[in-house]
A and B are shown apart, each in its own frame.
Chain A
């Protein structure tokens, strides 16, 4: 599907294969215990949210290390209903080659067929599927060795803004996706679920392709969330990263607690171990950034969330990934230019459950 001629042209394919590629294939020879990698796609529609995540994690349980491919497909449909699941694949059903961005997990795939990504995902256990063409609007950016804890770090490749076309099917209802804001990243590194860290992350995207600004927010803290190890707010203008706020540039506060009558947890069987709806998801995160004469204020207001439950690397316990959707307001003065826009936000909080 080709993008609308009314909006800016997506950028060319040249930077992508050299920035976005699998570092670990699911082969024992390259397995390193604790190595994790995922290729993640988000679509932030006007009335829906979609997350598709292809991951390979090397685990040490059992007699020998094993690499387990997983697909996480999570959707908040326009009717406000969350659906999705986490599915596990055999290595024989998985095709990943180091050095290439493509992944095939069973009948699910993510391919770079320059100059755009093609993602096809269909759960075997539920009536949820998506077929997307994602056109990059920003250049890829790589952050190497972001520190999670004293001993753990990971690297990150981000394509902060894409435009999505395609189709989403949830419980026999078909939704057409047209020019929706989207996001893609890849994370890789040796770290432990259940390690001594917690993170907050969010992407803020404009509803319209012509709007030139988008943001990525992140904060890494110790597991008790008492000490901040690093924090940043990155601002893109059109295809380029144009401003970075780091560390003491940022003042961050949480307001309220988001409460829902029902919380979807994936995999669903995890609800048996974690009944109830209590979660430390704030209603709002406020970020104030100041530095070298520039200023930016970001208000993220959250509406709903679901949780992905990941077993900690060391038995027992779980890490909760809260996938949150909401709205964002941005006001700023960057290089003397005034900016004000409202957009969509998808956030993720990573907290150890127990």
Chain B
């Protein structure tokens, strides 16, 4: 499975979040601020950041932290079989960077997840990604 599918999903989910749960999106943008996160999904890397033009997902650039994972982890997390803490402790979800950046990313991730639970179109979006 192409990891690019994850970034397609991520871009779409952020767009839906902005439309359907604007308070969650505002909070997320406020927490993540200028943080630049390098996401490595199934070995394919992109850098995500928020700015005046909204979200950008680029191939190159400076980063503040790196988060690496694979599709199997996402399936287990979404299905409630694995907690974030277990995923991190088992090094299946790998976070690398300064503590402050990791804390901000973790806080942003929880806001993103709460927003996704609220967004009516999120389940279908997630299902499309997971079943692709």
Contacts and interface: CB of A to CB of B under 8 A. Distances in A.
Interface of A: 61-63, 66, 68, 87-88, 124-125, 264-265, 267-273, 275, 309, 311, 315-316, 318
A273 B20 CA distance: 20
A271 B118 CA distance: 14
Contact of B120 (A66, A124, A125): A66
Contacts of A272: 77, 80, 83-84, 110, 113
Interface in B1-54: 19-24, 27
Contacts of A87: 123
B91 interface: no
B118 A273 contact: no
B60 interface: no
Interface in B102-132: 110-111, 113-114, 116-118, 120-121, 123-124, 126-127
Contacts of B59: none
22 contacts: A61-B22, A61-B118, A62-B19, A62-B20, A62-B21, A66-B120, A68-B120, A87-B123, A88-B121, A88-B124, A125-B127, A265-B80, A269-B117, A269-B126, A271-B83, A273-B110, A273-B114, A275-B84, A275-B85, A309-B117, A311-B118, A318-B114
Given A61-B22, A269-B113, A275-B84, 5 more contacts: A63-B19, A66-B120, A267-B117, A269-B116, A273-B114
B62 interface: no
B58 interface: no
Contacts, number: 66
Contacts of B118: 61, 311, 315
Nearest to B21: A61
B118 to A, nearest CB: 5
**A-B CB proximity, top 4 nearest:** A268-B80, A315-B23, A271-B80, A275-B83
A273 B115 CA distance: 11
Nearest to A315: B23
Q: A-side binding surface: helix, strand, loop or mixed?
A: mixed
A267 B123 contact: yes
Contact of B114 (A265, A268, A316): A316
A273 B21 contact: no
A272 B73 CA distance: 12
A62 B118 CA distance: 11
A269 B78 contact: yes
B21 A268 contact: no
Contacts of A315: 21, 23-24, 27, 118
Nearest to A62: B20
B84 A311 contact: no
Contacts of B126: 269
A316 B110 CA distance: 11
A63 B110 CA distance: 23
A269 B27 contact: no
B13 to A, nearest CB: 12
Nearest to B18: A62
A269 B109 CA distance: 12
A70 B29 CA distance: 29
Nearest to A274: B83
Contacts of A264: 80
Contacts of A273: 110, 113-114, 117
B83 A61 contact: no
Contacts of A62: 19-22
Contacts of B23: 61, 315-316
Nearest to A314: B23
A51 B99 CA distance: 44
Contacts of A275: 83-85
A316 B80 CA distance: 21
B60 to A, nearest CB: 30
B76 to A, nearest CB: 10
Given A88-B123, A271-B83, A273-B110, A61 B117 contact: no
Interface string B66-98: 000000000001111001110000000000000
Nearest to B118: A311
Contacts of A63: 19
